[in-house]
């Protein structure tokens, strides 16, 4: 059995596998970070929408007085 011939056939496949794993890991990490950023942005927008503005407070005060 010729070890050099076996390594010549296996090493390129392992190299391609390593590149594939590296790229897929980067894609999944990027997607996870993007989803976290979108969720944080959505939370901020929901909090901002739930907080009454100064104009709303003044109109509520005027409505309760009159």
Q: Where are the domains of the chain?
A: 1-65
- CA–CA dist 45, 37 (Å, integer): 12
Residues 6+ apart with CB under 8 A from 52: 60
Assign 52 to helix, strand or coil. Answer: coil
pLDDT at 64 over 60: yes
Residue 50 vs residues 4, 9, 39, 46, 56: alpha-carbon distances, Å: 69, 62, 16, 6, 12
Indicate the pTM of the whole model: 0.61
Cα 31 from chain centroid (whole Å): 4
pLDDT at site 56: 66
pLDDT at site 34: 97
């Amino acid at each position: 059995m010729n070890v050099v011939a076996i390594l010549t056939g296996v090493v390129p496949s392992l190299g391609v596998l390593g590149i594939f794993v590296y790229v897929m890991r980067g894609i999944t990490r990027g997607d996870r970070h993007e989803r976290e950023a979108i969720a944080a942005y959505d939370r901020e927008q929901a909090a901002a929408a739930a907080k009454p503005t100064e104009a709303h407070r003044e109109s509520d005060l005027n409505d309760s007085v009159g």
